[in-house]
Structure 1
Amino acid sequence: MPIPPSDPGVDRSLLRDDVYRRLRNAIVDGTFAPGEQLRDHELAVWLGVSRTPVREALLRLAQGGLVVAQPGRSTVVSPLDVRGTRDARDVVAAMHELAAREAVPTLSDTDVTAMRDANRRFAAAVAADDVEGALRADDELHAVLVRLADNRALETVLELFTPLVRRAERLRFGSQDGRASVTQHDELIRLCAAGDAEAAAAVAYDTWHSLPSAEG
């Protein structure tokens, strides 16, 4: 059949990104367990796509440490590795430290309010043992500083390594330690509102660096 000339076609970059995000999330939330073998043809059927974007996504996931890929053989979900998680955590903490340092000088009252609102939602989710809600609110809070930092390299590093740290976040937000994060957020917001970039950067670093390095 003839293709209408107005048809924009499929944005292949968006397709690749969507496949990557869905596979990444399935690993982080435990849908695919550590050590589980991932077959590209089965994943393609599950996602309703061709095998090409699945293979590309698996390569990206391997770069971030979420899977171990052996070309021509198999791809498996990475085991819960203490050193790998610790290394990723340290990098993520450093990126959030940099984000705070760069963002605080341009922070507006509206931005501070957005951070406070996110932390209220975070506290409510932690109190209700709603790990998914806590993760969403935590992302929204820290995203304010990352957005204002306007540093593409920083964003790229966070996108690559934050998923590996997410399993440690799940451990914290599902325990009493999650309540400590509420207090850390309050202090971060207070320092941001006061315009103290260096102190805010230090708290941002500690907030991420104090995450456990592996599930226990």
Structure 2
Amino acid sequence: MPIPADSPALDRMLLRDDVYGRLRDAIVDGTFAPGEQLKDGELAAWLGVSRTPVREALLRLAASGLVVTQPGRSTTVSSIDEATVREARDVVAAMHELSVREGVLRLDADDIERMRAANRRFAAALEDGDTDGALRADDDLHAVVIAAARNRALAAVLELFHPVVRRAERLRFGSDDGRASIERHERFIDLCAAGDTEAAARLTYETWHSLAAAADASGFGR
């Protein structure tokens, strides 16, 4: 398994969530390719931690479907097929719709401005061809509404299944369809600012639910 040579070691006291996040991101961005075997000893050396948090992270990644673990044998990066993306997409779309229904009326002027600022960063990242930056800005935008919903179960479900959908997101934001997302974000923010929960919920569901179409058009999972 090739290990990236230019990644800084993590602090040895780093929380398990940070180890999980680094491994998750390396799978989602293609650093670790589908079918690649992941060895906990090599991963621990790369991250500068013991094997224990690595093993715990791999179990969490298996729960979301990003890796396939055979106890006592091997752990490999899964090949995410179209059916798997659709299943995760359906759950993620429903959770984002719920976050809007529960959170929009709690948003204040500062929240709306944070969303607009995130969309400006999103547009700038797309202009620079920075897909990772666009994804971070998109996360920041939606995180405002998720936080306003104050629903820990909802947030936990998104944490589990959103990484699977993110592979399709990378295809969208790396294509011409990414530019259309700037306008969709603005419409969504305007609806949130107006307190139009029903229209905002409908738009966010349609946006997330359309990810599989972007994946199909790009040959994702084939």
Name the TM-score, length of structure 1 as normaliser.
Answer: 0.91
Q: After superposition, where does 1:1-216 map in structure 2 within 5 Å?
A: 15-211=15-211, 212-213=214-215, 216=219
Distance apart, 1:48 and its partner CA:
1.5
SS at match of 1:68: strand
User: In 1, Cα distance between the equivalents of 2:15 and 2:81?
Assistant: 30
1:5 is matched with none
Q: Secondary structure, in 3 states, of the residue corresponding to 1:80?
A: coil
Equivalent position amino acid for 1:34 in 2: P
Runs of 4+ in 1 over 3 A off after TM superposition: none
CA distance in 2, matches of 1:18, 1:42: 17
TM-superposed CA distance for 1:125, in Å, is 1.5
- For the residues of structure 2 that align with 1:35 and 1:159, how far apart are their CA atoms? 23
Deviations 1:159-194 (A, max 9, x none): 111111111111000110001111111111111011
Contact 1:100–1:146 under 8 Å retained in 2 = yes
CA contact (8 A) 1:83 1:213 kept: no
Q: How many residues align?
A: 205
Deviation for aligned residue 1:39: 0.9
Unpaired stretches in structure 1, ≥5 consecutive residues: 1-9
In 1, Cα distance between equivalents of 2:104 and 2:80: 35
TM-score calculated relative to the size of structure 2: 0.88
Do 1:35 and 1:78's aligned partners in 2 also have CA atoms closer than 8 Å?
yes
In 1, the alpha carbon distance for the partners of 2:75 and 2:157 equals 23
Distance 2:164 2:25 in 1: 11
- What is the rounded CA distance, in whole Å, between the counterparts of 2:32 and 2:140 in structure 1? 26
Match of 1:4 in 2: none
Deviation by residue 1:182-211 (Cα, 9 ceiling, x = unmatched) = 111111111101111111111111111111
Indicate the SS of the match to 2:15.
helix
1:213: how far off? 4.1
1:113-132 deviations in whole A, cap 9, x for unaligned? 11111111111211222111
Once the two structures are aligned, what percentage of the paired residues are identical? 69
The whole-number CA distance in structure 2 between the counterparts of 1:18 and 1:152 is 19
Contact 2:171 2:215 in 1 (8 A): no
Greater Cα shift, 41-50 or 206-215 = 206-215
CA contact (8 A) 1:86 1:213 kept: no
Q: Residue 76 of structure 2: SS of its match in structure 1?
A: strand
Q: Which has the larger radius of gyration?
A: 1
Offset at residue 149 of structure 1 (A): 0.3
Unaligned runs of 5+ in 2: 1-11
